[in-house]
Amino acid sequence: MKPEKINRVKGTKDILPPAAALWREVEEVAREVFELYNFHEIRFPVFEKTEVFSKSIGDTSDIVEKEMYTFTDRGGESLTLRPEGTASVVRAFVENSLFNRPGVKKFYYMGPMFRAERPQAGRFRQFHQIGAEVFGTDDPSADAELILALLDFFEALNITGLELKLNSLGCPVCRPAYRDELASFLKSRIGSLCESCQRRVDKNPFRALDCKSKGCKQAVSDAPSIDRFLCGECKDSFQSVQNLLKDAGVSVTLDPRLVRGLDYYSRTAFEVTSSRLGAQDAVAGGGRYNSLVEQFGGPPTPAIGFALGMERLLTLVDAPENEPAPDAFLVAVGGEAEKEIFQLARRLRRDGFMVERGFGGGNLNNRMKKADKSGARFAVIIGDDEIANASATIKDLIKGTQKQVGLDEIPKTLEDDLLAPIEEQSEE
């Protein structure tokens, strides 16, 4: 009986060639841009003790309440697949005493994250983020620089039409008053709120501002906004961030209802959205989290960061039209020639050429068809005649011309011909 096919898990994706090459290119651009800002790569485990996330993201957030992949390991410990990177970076920052390193500490990371959300366009259960975090300063110019790094990255990828939404979430001094006001406002419309927002109206009324349910959206449309509640320091910091961005020519949409889905934020919060993304329109989000390092047992260390979603980003990037194809496809006719191309492929790859070869026999015609299909620029053909005089026939598969060269001359000939513009190459 034919075994049953096993499919991937719902909400996950295979990233196949040529898409995977585009992913890599985008990741390389991220490295280039963020390293210009002196960010350094950090890598951390894909799973952590559950408390890493529950105590930072907030136990009334959607992520912790219903979206974490949590399991008990064989030793009886509760572990969770990372739903985001910030909590892990903070855990690593404290555990490895990175606060002892001199100056401001800047890290970037990229990799898969896991959230048990309802899959839909732009929303997956395994998705990928590129994130960046800055530790050790609450200077508003660090906020503006971080946002500029993100926008530089989008610009390097030629992505346009993005909107930067900015808000300040206040601090432990000014937020409680806003929270109380918001909670009483929400209680006055409690019947319109969804069940979760009703339940968390006292503990975390901010969630209602971020809730996607129709009733909540409507109920909060005239909710009080935080701007009137900001204390002097938060106001000044927020104003400076705005001024710096303005000076840098960045247009900003102030959104006093922007609260973000994670509870660790204070002061600056932002999202970058694109109308080309549909319902899941946020391509990136971030903000300040000045208490988190301390909450993890480290010294008081203000911090700010962002993460962008790769799947969403990639729908905004134009894919290159051509996928990379081999420089040369090696064609052997006869047993001796087979041995020769095995060695030749090895030599050419060591010289840096991208090489493919035919497998499994067949006549010259069949093998040349394979060469054509591979998209290679040149076929290097070795048969009995060529073996007899230590040579090969190099056929230009675009122009249809061919020439015979000594085996030793193959690398140089390929190199010269690959470099020469197609129209200038001499016919032979």
The residues that touch ligand HAM, with contacts defined as CB under 6 A, are: 84-86, 115, 117, 122-124, 127, 129, 131, 133, 261-262, 282-287, 305-309, 311-312
Residue nearer to ligand HAM on the CB measure, 115 or 200? 115
Shortest distance, position 57 Cβ to ligand HAM, whole Å: 8
Shortest distance, position 131 Cβ to ligand HAM, whole Å: 5
The pairs formed by 16-24 with CB atoms below 8 angstroms and a separation of 24 or more are 17/323, 18/319, 18/320, 18/323, 18/324, 19/314, 19/319, 21/323, 21/324, 22/314, 22/317, 22/319, 22/320, 23/128, 23/310, 23/314
Shortest distance, position 129 Cβ to ligand HAM, whole Å: 5
Residue nearer to ligand HAM on the CB measure, 210 or 417? 210
Question: Nearest residue by C-beta to ligand HAM?
Answer: 309
Residue nearer to ligand HAM on the CB measure, 132 or 392? 132
Residue nearer to ligand HAM on the CB measure, 33 or 283? 283
Q: Is 346 exposed, middle or buried (0-12, 13-18, 19+ CB in 10 A)?
A: exposed
Shortest distance, position 115 Cβ to ligand HAM, whole Å: 5
Residue nearer to ligand HAM on the CB measure, 140 or 286? 286
Residue nearer to ligand HAM on the CB measure, 192 or 204? 204
* Token pair 């959230």: residue: 115
What tokens were used for 404?
């015979």
The residues, ordered by sequence, that sit 6+ positions from 84 with a Cβ below 8 Å of its Cβ are 53, 57, 63, 113, 129, 131, 262, 307
* Token pair 């073996």: residue: 387
The residues, ordered by sequence, that sit 6+ positions from 182 with a Cβ below 8 Å of its Cβ are 205, 206, 208, 209, 223, 224
Shortest distance, position 11 Cβ to ligand HAM, whole Å: 8
Shortest distance, position 333 Cβ to ligand HAM, whole Å: 51
CA angle 195, 201, 204 (to 5 degrees): 115
Residue nearer to ligand HAM on the CB measure, 261 or 326? 261
Residue 381: its H or E element: strand 378-382
Among candidates 307, 308, 290, which has minimal Cα distance to 299? Answer: 290
- Are 394 and 413 spatial neighbours (Cβ–Cβ below 8 Å)? yes
Shortest distance, position 277 Cβ to ligand HAM, whole Å: 9
